[in-house]
Homo-oligomer: A and B are copies of this chain.
Amino acid sequence: MMIVPVILSGGSGTRLWPLSTPERPKQFLPLTTNRTMFAETLARVADRDRFAAPVVVCGESHVAHVSADLALLGISDATVIVEPAARNTAPAIALAALAVAQDACLLVMPSDHAIARPDAFLDAVTAGYPLVAAGHLATFGIEPASPETGYGYIAAGAPMGDGGVRAVRRFVEKPAREAAQAMIDSGGHYWNAGIFLMRADSYLGSLKTHAPQIENACRKAMQAATTAAGALHPDAAIFAACPSDSIDYAVMENAEDVIVVPVDPGWSDVGSWAALHAIAPKDEAGNVVRGAVTLVDCTNCFVRNETGEMLSLLGLSDMAVIAAEAGRVILPLARTQEVKRFAS
């Protein structure tokens, strides 16, 4: 088994404002470690006994960040595909699928998610591989920890072979809280983490069936692609005409042969400062602190200071304080999803 990692670098950079910005979105920030989320994603699939050289799909403005992380990890044989425009995940994955051998198996991953237990994740990849090699499209289902309303859910159907793999009965996008809770209570429902395992030809075949315009535009854009500074540039004019859609809407919700591999790898999409606080190492009082900060009598706070100025906090509980070049923000941890109001 040889798998090609496909790393998607999208994201607009407002949820972790003021650290994340359009110029440096979440995946290019060191959040859970001293390496960027993008570098951590690369490192997770860097074992060349199991994985081939990675394919990265990113926007023009992020090529420098991508190159820096590839260099940091000593990866010189990656294929970097520069999207001429943002067209969501279905076209981005199609570009990658068109750049590799058609019988290659793609492991498609967002570059801005945290995975605390990479071994569990890799075991799930192994579990899904035989059915994928036989033509199935696999998605990874995360054991849901709470009735989140911002995620897509996967309803699992009949068991398929070993390793807990199951058929997908249906996808449910961003349910109401009651519906989310009902799915959790009934069991057999998973969060859709946007991680996929599938053969290039399986994906492109399904895309041609369910979203032929996307498949056609991507194929032609790749046929007319040019190479510059070591990166592949699909034809901009052709790609601009490509419809924008997610792999979930364009393919997964319509395709037959979709399977789900349940996994509990300590996954987080780090979708807010509170989410980062939840997964980060804490001091005895539950604080997560980074940068020049003096804390007195603070509990359960997230404090990150990227400026050189000392920040002095006293008597705070359940607060997030983030200071960076782009802004300084203070708000309750419970409301950190609202920072995007300040991002401009």
Contact = CB atoms under 8 A, between A and B. Distances in A.
A162 to B, nearest CB: 49
Interface string A331-344: 11001001101100
B314 A329 contact: yes
A341 B296 contact: yes
Given A294-B342, A296-B341, A342-B294, A330 B313 contact: yes
Chain A residues touching B, range: 20 to 34
A164 interface: no
A132 B315 CA distance: 48
Contact of A313 (B294, B323, B329): B329
Nearest to A338: B314
Copy total for this chain: 2
B331 A315 contact: yes
A48 to B, nearest CB: 45
A290 B338 CA distance: 23
Interface stretch (A25-33, A57-65, A167-175, A304-312): A304-312
A321 interface: yes
A179 interface: no
Contacts of A327: 309-310, 312
Interface string A291-320: 000101000000000000111111110010
A144 to B, nearest CB: 27
A86 B313 CA distance: 32
A328 interface: yes
A330 B311 CA distance: 8
B316 A330 contact: yes
Interface in A116-161: none
Contacts of A315: 331-332, 335, 338
A328 B312 contact: yes
A310 B325 CA distance: 10
A280 B18 CA distance: 31
A316 to B, nearest CB: 6
B328 A310 contact: yes
Contacts of A328: 309-312, 323, 328
A201 to B, nearest CB: 49
A338 B342 CA distance: 30
A18 B314 CA distance: 14
A312 B329 CA distance: 5
Nearest to A342: B312
A31 B312 CA distance: 21
Contacts of A310: 327-328
A329 B314 CA distance: 8
Given A311-B329, A313-B329, A330-B330, 7 more contacts: A18-B312, A311-B330, A313-B331, A314-B329, A315-B331, A316-B332, A321-B330
6 contacts: A312-B328, A312-B330, A314-B335, A314-B341, A315-B335, A330-B330
